[in-house]
Structure 1
């Protein structure tokens, strides 16, 4: 039956248990077993629908990530004279707006909630706050939070996670601190989000304070919180504490293993990452594995795919993906991201095409992967198409998409478009800033890169590991040795960021460009990381340029120890010997190269014309139009020779006019 209650001047109606069981059970029962089609058919056949039935069917579409149909149904509800929207169905509609980044519809619902006094509900207010946060309208979300008369744990968690996801980590921690002072409000998800902010800010001291609070509250048994603690410690460079916490866990899930593997990979310790991955094989035979390796668990399968991709086991990730009976947007984003990291551009676009056919609406991780591949392949037109899709989906203000767009345009040679996107951002975030600094550095605009970095420090943005790699690259390209060392020391002393091998690589390159080869070699030998062929190749090329035969020989030997078939080491060392007149030594190197079956890979380039890519290999005439191409080249070269001769004659007789 319907129970009517007067609350001040407002009359509210509630369904009692008896009416709920009769009215909502058919639809909601089918929705719960994920048969949305059957639920919709039953809903359409109902002669009378109450608000509970409307809420159940709309919520079913939101759960299935079909926000478009959910909002269509809510619009139909507004024209049903028999029912009026309540706080529950309005909250679900706001969730659909956030899910689809439909800010226009969401703002309309905001106005409706205000007009009908439903905005006073803590549930409506919280979902409205969430909607604004998810659509990038952070300031509006903060205003909603400030104006709310009542707040619960979910409300506080929404504002904390919204600020952190927007890259405003300091403000997120400020809200968390205020939340912590309210007794009984903090929950596991809020703890995990705050620890994520600490990791991004490298605030290990504050992270340890939260760890203490977690232990006092008894949340240290939560896998979600412990995984976040491990991530916080490892990202802050406290690898020992992170590993100790991991080893002390009584039970672990895939996320625990993935967190540790990610940490080893990011710190350049690939061998430990693979060793950790191989340990999982041991746990397959224990009860712990049964806890989290459930074939029907979608989230577990997604995490397993990420773990395979992180460890370079893309074939295993692909097999797992092909065998999955159910896939969600995270599944698709994970496999697309894995192919993107491996540089497999064709597979990325193919998977994306399959995803569109399967139905899931693209989210920022999937689009970011497409933009990354577009930049790597330097296919500007495809990158622009992905940009257009991001605009259509309302994701252009998402920090991940913004930084990916800046990176894509920079790598495709359009630094002006990259700069325009950066300048149009509502708020500067460290990820977009880093992408812009890196773009300027790659294009040789070192002054703009360094000026932007200095400006970011003045406004209080905290640079991260990648930001310092970008600015050190800028210093290297401009030969600013002293400034590079100042930033290198600032990173460690001021921001407590432990240098990784990429930072050392930038410093080695900086020293080599300055001609200080002895200092560069010393820095390589003193690196706390395992030396790879990249830093030794940098030194080897510098030795070639400076004619340092002996140091070049040592660098080549180190490279060949790591890769006995390195074409670069053999060719460069032979060239060093030849350029310094040591022809016998050069011949000996070429003989050793031949005996090991090492072949110099010819240079190649490609060009895309009218949606057709053509590849040209040095010394090859395999292209179908090679005869025509070489004929045109002969004409161009002969024309250039005539012009050069004509210029010399005119120059000799003073025929040039400089007016």
Structure 2
């Protein structure tokens, strides 16, 4: 029998067939009164062999020519189509089987049909099979129950999965593992561990897959002690050498911050697969040790294990963090030679790498060459242009995304708000704000903090404050930090400090970024004692080690207070790496206070870090000039000339007809620069004429 399918016939056929599931199989047999022919064992055996060997077409031809088929014949061919991911054909065959009055569905074929529904997300057909299972008492089967749990898991109906599980009279290892997996994959890690705890009372039930998914739940919850307890059970049961368990243990330790234990486990693994190596590469990248990630990748390449899409995605992320464009380009060549350049995860990570390294043209070329795009693709290209300060291009891609029907994410909108704030284009920022309201994303924490930052940077602190006040009850630490920083940048240090104190009183736990904002507010207002109070508070009450940014704020605070000696001492005693930012802060303060010797020392420290620093050389030359040391100033300027160092020109931007144009002193990059300079010359000429006429009209009288 050959089942035909074209256009809408599949849907009509399945709908009609599903309705027939309401009739008991006995009734079909009774009404038809057709004897149940016996299919020979050899025939089914040959059919099964063809399917197992991958000859599904030959198996189908054999199946269609069979004069009689029993439930084993139907199960074999349906299972073959499910294995070949042709779920539509599998469900058509199941429906056709149900029309055969000589065949009664059993638990095996029903579980296979439910599997097809789950893998194809065909919820309506699956629910009909669920109803059929209840009416025919097939639901009592542990196989059918497990298949139903998996169906509802795959279609996002986790609560229904739990209900099916609760109603089952008998549960085996597969059933327990399926429900735990459903909960963990849905992000409900705590519930998953509760089920695992209950399952563990039956000592024989947990297997390697159960332990692996339970460890994943521990990683998601950062439950180190629980994970260590599972590790003990794994060792007792002798599952420690099983790859899926060992990989899950490794991930659990890295997610819980125990990198040393994770490395010991990795080294002790007798066998390592692509998941093992990729997990280590990802772990190194996560803790900021990208160089180790690259070294691990090279070791992997020297082993017999080949990298997969996830490996390359992690490596491109590492190259982006290191800003190593050459390495990224070499990896691009590897990806191309291996034929996985069309993988979404790989191409998205490549775009991110090129964007981060300043090669937006390459990122754009990759994006335009993609056969299909997901929301991550759109968000990456929009974020790349936005973070690069290209307002027009960022909004152009955003408009293209809207036309494609893709719903914007909070990341894409936040990227546009960020570039609007950085380029001070308030109207575009307001348009994005309006769109976020239309999409119902205004309460999203990422959008909320981006809106506050955008309005603050565009000079509209009142609108930033309004956004914060409208959501103050639901405000998080990120929004609080954005508002505190906004007040500080606008010189409203009192409001910034008051808001910070208010947050402490209502139980907010500030993070390191929040302390940077409040220390910055103290620096702007010159409140030295208050600044030191917060600097000590973060260490004593919140057990946070100050980073170079916090020390930078304190150095700035001391410099503004004129206490340059203490500022220099703090820099020298910093436990973290000293960068050119803190020394530049001190150098500028020395310039203002005409502290030549200290300024010279600061400049020397900067030049040790960056021998071609124009800021250090220009400032040092200015210090010498202001104090009349013209010979020393000339030596510095000569050094600048020999090194090819030029003072970076200042620039400004202007918004005209929804287009931002940037101008630098003596710049020639603007496409209308000739017209602009012509107008400027005309304005200067008229100004000179006006001044000359004014002087000529003045009559000088003799005393």
TM-score by length of 2: 0.62
Q: For residues 22 and 249 of structure 1, do their structure 2 counterparts lie closer, same or farther at Cα, with a shift above 3 Å needed? A: closer
**Among candidates 334, 341, 352, match of residue 337 of structure 1:** 352
Q: Distance in 1 between matches of 2:220 and 2:653?
A: 43
Q: For residues 282 and 352 of structure 1, do their structure 2 counterparts lie closer, same or farther at Cα, with a shift above 3 Å needed? A: closer
Write out per-residue CA displacement over residues 345-378 of structure 1, whole angstroms, 9 at most, x where no aligned residue: 222232222222xxxx434543442242143134
**Among candidates 423, 433, 438, match of residue 445 of structure 2:** 433
**Among candidates 294, 300, 306, match of residue 293 of structure 1:** 306
**1:179 matches 2:192:** no
**Among candidates 352, 371, 376, match of residue 367 of structure 2:** 352
Contact 1:606-1:613 within 8 A present in 2 as well: yes
Q: Distance in 2 between matches of 1:591 and 1:349?
A: 42
Q: Distance in 2 between matches of 1:117 and 1:59?
A: 23
SS at match of 1:620: coil
Aligned 1:527-546 pairs, distance under 5 A: 529-533=576-580, 536-537=583-584
Write out per-residue CA displacement over residues 609-639 of structure 1, whole angstroms, 9 at most, x where no aligned residue: 9999987654133544322233456688999
What count of residue pairs does the alignment treat as equivalent?
Answer: 563
Consecutive unaligned residues of structure 2, counting only runs of 5 or more, are 2-20, 29-37, 67-72, 100-104, 169-174, 422-427, 481-502, 524-530, 690-703
Write out per-residue CA displacement over residues 367-395 of structure 1, whole angstroms, 9 at most, x where no aligned residue: 44224214313444245246537963x7x
SS at match of 1:190: helix
SS at match of 2:418: helix
**Among candidates 382, 386, 390, match of residue 375 of structure 1:** 386
Q: Distance in 1 between matches of 2:210 and 2:246?
A: 13
Q: Distance in 1 between matches of 2:145 and 2:317?
A: 39
Partner in structure 1 of residue 153 of structure 2: 129
TM-superposed CA distance for 1:317, in Å, is: 1.1
TM-superposed CA distance for 1:323, in Å, is: 0.8
Partner in structure 2 of residue 649 of structure 1: none
TM-superposed CA distance for 1:114, in Å, is: 5.5
Q: Distance in 2 between matches of 1:599 and 1:147?
A: 73
Q: Distance in 2 between matches of 1:173 and 1:220?
A: 24
Q: Distance in 1 between matches of 2:194 and 2:228?
A: 14
**1:412 matches 2:420:** yes
Q: Distance in 2 between matches of 1:550 and 1:235?
A: 50
Write out per-residue CA displacement over residues 466-520 of structure 1, whole angstroms, 9 at most, x where no aligned residue: x945534543554484796488449954xxxx76xxx724313432453457776
Contact 2:583-2:605 within 8 A present in 1 as well: yes
Q: Distance in 2 between matches of 1:129 and 1:310?
A: 36
Farther-moved stretch of structure 1 (582-591 vs 321-330): 582-591
Write out per-residue CA displacement over residues 380-412 of structure 1, whole angstroms, 9 at most, x where no aligned residue: 4245246537963x7x6xxxx434543443333
TM-superposed CA distance for 1:320, in Å, is: 0.7
Q: Distance in 2 between matches of 1:128 and 1:354?
A: 37
Partner in structure 2 of residue 67 of structure 1: none
Consecutive unaligned residues of structure 1, counting only runs of 5 or more, are 2-6, 33-38, 63-69, 98-105, 133-139, 164-170, 643-659
Aligned 1:554-573 pairs, distance under 5 A: 554-573=601-620
Contact 1:308-1:317 within 8 A present in 2 as well: no
Aligned 1:568-587 pairs, distance under 5 A: 568-575=615-622, 585-587=632-634
Aligned 1:618-637 pairs, distance under 5 A: 618-632=665-679
Aligned 1:583-622 pairs, distance under 5 A: 585-602=632-649, 618-622=665-669
Contact 2:284-2:293 within 8 A present in 1 as well: no
SS at match of 1:152: helix
Partner in structure 1 of residue 180 of structure 2: 156
**1:471 matches 2:514:** yes
Contact 2:621-2:632 within 8 A present in 1 as well: yes
TM-superposed CA distance for 1:156, in Å, is: 0.8
Q: For residues 20 and 364 of structure 1, do their structure 2 counterparts lie closer, same or farther at Cα, with a shift above 3 Å needed? A: farther
Partner in structure 1 of residue 158 of structure 2: 141
Q: Distance in 2 between matches of 1:609 and 1:427?
A: 28
Partner in structure 2 of residue 314 of structure 1: 328
Partner in structure 2 of residue 274 of structure 1: 291
Partner in structure 1 of residue 337 of structure 2: 323
Aligned 1:110-259 pairs, distance under 5 A: 112=128, 116-117=132-133, 121-132=145-156, 140-142=157-159, 144-146=161-163, 148=165, 149-150=167-168, 151-163=175-187, 171-183=188-200, 184-185=205-206, 187-199=210-222, 204-223=224-243, 225-227=245-247, 229-230=249-250, 233-234=253-254, 237-253=257-273, 256=276, 259=279
Q: Distance in 1 between matches of 2:145 and 2:676?
A: 72
Contact 2:654-2:661 within 8 A present in 1 as well: yes
> Quick check: which has more Rg, 1 or 2?
2
Q: For residues 583 and 331 of structure 1, do their structure 2 counterparts lie closer, same or farther at Cα, with a shift above 3 Å needed? A: same
TM-superposed CA distance for 1:531, in Å, is: 3.8
TM-score by length of 1: 0.65
Partner in structure 2 of residue 504 of structure 1: 547
Q: For residues 10 and 490 of structure 1, do their structure 2 counterparts lie closer, same or farther at Cα, with a shift above 3 Å needed? A: farther
TM-superposed CA distance for 1:174, in Å, is: 4.2
Q: For residues 328 and 438 of structure 1, do their structure 2 counterparts lie closer, same or farther at Cα, with a shift above 3 Å needed? A: same
Q: Distance in 1 between matches of 2:250 and 2:542?
A: 21
Aligned 1:83-122 pairs, distance under 5 A: 86-97=110-121, 108=124, 112=128, 116-117=132-133, 121-122=145-146
Contact 1:157-1:189 within 8 A present in 2 as well: no
SS at match of 2:369: helix
TM-superposed CA distance for 1:153, in Å, is: 0.3
Q: For residues 110 and 8 of structure 1, do their structure 2 counterparts lie closer, same or farther at Cα, with a shift above 3 Å needed? A: closer
SS at match of 2:476: helix
Q: For residues 122 and 238 of structure 1, do their structure 2 counterparts lie closer, same or farther at Cα, with a shift above 3 Å needed? A: closer
Q: Distance in 2 between matches of 1:179 and 1:408?
A: 44
Q: For residues 252 and 488 of structure 1, do their structure 2 counterparts lie closer, same or farther at Cα, with a shift above 3 Å needed? A: farther
Contact 1:337-1:365 within 8 A present in 2 as well: no
TM-superposed CA distance for 1:159, in Å, is: 1.0
Farther-moved stretch of structure 1 (342-351 vs 306-315): 306-315
Q: For residues 147 and 257 of structure 1, do their structure 2 counterparts lie closer, same or farther at Cα, with a shift above 3 Å needed? A: closer
Farther-moved stretch of structure 1 (112-121 vs 606-615): 606-615
Q: Distance in 1 between matches of 2:221 and 2:351?
A: 28
Q: For residues 279 and 25 of structure 1, do their structure 2 counterparts lie closer, same or farther at Cα, with a shift above 3 Å needed? A: closer
